[in-house]
Amino acid sequence: MKRIGVLTSGGDAPGMNAAIRAVVRKAIFHGMEIYGVFYGYQGLMNGNIKKMEVGSVGDIIHRGGTSLYSARCDEFKTIEGQKKAIEELKKYDINGLVVIGGDGSLRGAKSLSDLGLPCIGVPATIDNDIAGIDFTIGFDTALNTVIEAIDKIRDTATSHERTFVIEVMGRNAGDLAMYAGLAAGAESIIIPERKDDFDSVVHRLKRGLERGKKHSIIILAEGVGEGVQYGKKIEEETSYETRVTVLGHIQRGGSPTAQDRVLASRLGAKAVDLLKNGEAGKIVGLQNNQLIAQDIDELLANKHRLNKDVYQLSQELSI
Binding site for ligand F6P (CB under 6 A): 11, 72, 102, 125-127, 169-171, 222, 252
Q: Which is nearer to ligand F6P, 171 or 266 (CB)?
A: 171
CB of 249 to ligand F6P, least distance (A): 6
| Strand partners of residue 49 | 37
β strands within the chain, DSSP E: 3-9, 33-37, 49-52, 97-101, 119-123, 163-168, 188-190, 216-221, 242-246, 282-287, 290-295
* Alpha-carbon distances of 207 from 200, 201, 211, 256, 319, rounded to whole Å: 10, 10, 7, 39, 9
Pairing of strands 163-168, 216-221: parallel
Q: How far is the CB of 272 from ligand F6P (least distance, A)?
A: 25
Gap between the Cα atoms of 194 and 311, Å rounded: 10
93 as an active site residue: the answer is no
Q: How far is the CB of 143 from ligand F6P (least distance, A)?
A: 12
Tell me the C-alpha to C-alpha distance, in Å, between residue 163 and each of 30, 166, 202, 216, 318: 56, 10, 11, 5, 15
Q: Are 70 and 10 in contact (CB under 8 A)?
A: yes
d(CA 144, CA 180): 8
From the DSSP assignment, how many helices (H) and strands (E) are in the chain? Answer: 11, 11
What three-state secondary structure class fits 57?
Answer: helix
Catalytic residue among 74, 93, 103, 127: 127
Closest approach of Cβ 141 to ligand F6P, in Å? 12
CA atoms of 118 and 94, how far apart (whole Å): 10
- Residue 142 or 182: the one with the smaller Cβ distance to ligand F6P is 142
Question: Which of residues 5 and 10 has its CB atom nearest to ligand F6P in the complex?
Answer: 10
Q: Which is nearer to ligand F6P, 21 or 171 (CB)?
A: 171
**Whose Cβ is closer to ligand F6P: residue 96's or residue 192's?**
192
Closest approach, Cβ 256 to ligand F6P, in A, equals 15
35 vs 76, beta carbon nearer ligand F6P: 76
Quickly count: other Cβ atoms within 10 Å of residue 74's Cβ.
Answer: 9
Length of the chain counted residue by residue = 319
- Least separation in angstroms between residue 266's CB and ligand F6P is 22
Query: Which residues are catalytic, by number?
Result: 127
